Amino acid sequence: MPTVKFYASLRKVTGEREAQIQAGSVKEVLQRLSTDYDGELRRYLKISSILVNGKNVIHMKGKRTRLKPDDVVSIFPPLGGG
């Protein structure tokens, strides 16, 4: 089952650092998260970047990116810093 890791504000919203999500694609991960957590998370998911094994899915197949059971999905809200 892929591991989904939450960062920055998403940890406050979910109350968790990570979760195991039964999903075969990024789209399924987002659907499961939207169902399992409250509306605040849905607002963040709309503006968050998603990396699969370190690669941003916008440079892969977006939400259609397929997932294997040992994949790590990292979700980040927009950040600023340097």
Partner 1 sequence: MSTKYSGYLGRFLDIDLSTGKVGEYDVTDEMLEAYLGSKGLASKILYDTLSKGVNPLGEENVFIVNTGPLVNSGAPCTSRFNVTTKSPLTGGILSCNCGGNFGMFLKRAGFDGLILRGKASKPTWIHIEDGEVELKDAKDLWGLTTEEAQEKLPKGTGKMVIGPAGENAVLYACIISQERALGRGGAGAVMGSKNIKAITAKGNHKVPKANPEKFKKDVRKWVEILKEHPSTGEMMPEYGTAVFINRCNAANTLPTHNFKRGSFAEADAVSGETLAETRLTGNFGCASCVIKCGRRVEVDGKNVKGPEYETLGLLGPNLENPDLGLICDWNYQADLVGVDTVSLGNVLGFAMELNENGLWDNGLEFGKVDNISGVIDDIANRRGIGDDLADGVKRLSEKYGGKDYAMEVKGLELPAYEPRGAVGHGLGYAIANRGGCHIGGGYMVYFEANGPLTMDPLTTRAKPQLTAMLQTMLDALSDSGSCQFTGFTTIPKQAIELNPHGNVYRVVAKSLELMGPMMELILRFPKMLAFVPPMALMQHPRVITDLTGMKMTFGKFLEIGLRTYMIERLFNAREGFTGADDTLPRRSTHQVQEGGTDTTVPLNQMIRIYYRVRGLDANGAPKHDTLRRLGMRA
Residues forming contacts to partner 1 in the complex (CB under 8 A) are: 5, 7-9, 11, 17, 30, 46-51, 54, 56-59, 62-63, 74, 76-82
Taking the least distance from each CB to partner 1, the nearer of 16 and 38 is 16
Q: How far is the CB of 19 from partner 1 (least distance, A)?
A: 15
Q: How far is the CB of 1 from partner 1 (least distance, A)?
A: 19
Q: How far is the CB of 57 from partner 1 (least distance, A)?
A: 8
> Rounded to 5 degrees, what are φ and ψ at 48?
-95, 150
